[in-house]
Structure 1
Amino acid sequence: MTKQPHNDFAQQDDAFLHSCMYFTTNRLSRAITRMADEAFATTGLAPAYGYLIRLVVGKPGITQKELSEKLYITPSTLTRFIDKLEGKRLVERQVQGKTVLVYPTDKGKELVPSLRQASHTLKEKYEAILGKELADQLTHNHELASEQLER
């Protein structure tokens, strides 16, 4: 009679995933991204574009450099985002010397209430699942961890 090999290695091999910040953060990111995409679907924009417009409306003439820093995205990614939003006539760029300033259009400004509502809907949905206290705690802890890891 042959003995079946014991599969402890396979069980231990995937256990590391559940204690790995990289894996668990990406898993959480995919879940919250799905929820955000659903909440922002009513605006016709992806969440990142919505947040960009809100920043531009909040500070007309904001520099591209400041936007990329606030959104934690590379300048090249920001340029692509702004290109797309300019194509939709939601923002416009103005060059002053070597600085590029971004302004909202009237059409972009009109979107702000629906963008705020989408953000509110997203927050309500994850708070309903996690509870307000845990949602606030996770947000705070992720902010602190991001700041420390980016140093």
Structure 2
Amino acid sequence: MNKIWAHAFEDMGLSPAHAYLLRVVLEKPGISQQVIAAELQLEKSTVARFVESLEGRGFLRRDKAGREQLVFPSQNALVIAEELHRRGDQLYRRMIKDLGKNDMVKLVSDLRVASSRLN
């Protein structure tokens, strides 16, 4: 499964994790790094590294709002947004096709339960 996801975004120069984070920011411009961490169930330090990397590559920009960093898509991100969403949706459809809808729903549910138990 990891190979399928990695292959989907490699020609865009994005890892699956970076692509997914970028999709979140494109959907919610001005989202805080803290909210990104909660939504993606990642450590704040991991999100900070991902955002820094994507900012350095010209996909994101950060604005300081008090003690928080708000994250916005750059023009470069807006240019690839439609393709990024198309590929993400295509991957989701492939997973449903390969696993079946019921197994896909169960897998996502089981992963969420496992994640909450580990945190």
TM-score by length of 2: 0.86
Contact 1:91 1:108 in 2 (8 A): yes
What is the Cα-based RMSD across aligned positions, in Å?
1.8
Q: Superposed, which structure 2 residues align to 1:33-52 within 5 Å?
A: 33-52=2-21
Q: CA deviation at 1:145?
A: 4.0
Match of 1:64 in 2: 33
Match of 2:87 in 1: 118
C-alpha separation in 1, matches of 2:108 and 2:42? 19
* Count of residue pairs the alignment pairs up: 119
Q: Is 2:78 aligned against 1:109?
A: yes
Contact 1:93 1:103 in 2 (8 A): yes
Q: CA deviation at 1:114?
A: 1.4
Q: CA deviation at 1:37?
A: 0.6
TM-score by length of 1: 0.70
Alignment deviations for residues 24-57 of structure 1 (CA, whole Å, 9 cap, x no partner): xxxxxxxx22211112224321111111111112
Return 5+ residue gaps in structure 2 as ranges.
none
Q: CA deviation at 1:124?
A: 2.8
C-alpha separation in 1, matches of 2:69 and 2:108? 32
Match of 1:67, as an amino acid? I
Q: CA deviation at 1:143?
A: 2.5
Alignment deviations for residues 72-115 of structure 1 (CA, whole Å, 9 cap, x no partner): 11111111111111111110011122111111111112221111
Q: CA deviation at 1:144?
A: 3.7
C-alpha separation in 1, matches of 2:61 and 2:33? 11
C-alpha separation in 1, matches of 2:57 and 2:63? 16
Q: Is 2:22 aligned against 1:53?
A: yes
Give the secondary-structure state (helix, strand or coil) at the position aligned to 2:20: helix
Identity of aligned residues (%): 30
Give the secondary-structure state (helix, strand or coil) at the position aligned to 1:66: helix
Q: Which structure would you say has the larger Rg?
A: 1
Q: CA deviation at 1:119?
A: 1.2
Pair 140,69 (structure 1): closer, same or farther in 2 beyond 3 Å: same
Contact 1:37 1:46 in 2 (8 A): yes
C-alpha separation in 2, matches of 1:66 and 1:132? 29
C-alpha separation in 1, matches of 2:44 and 2:115? 19
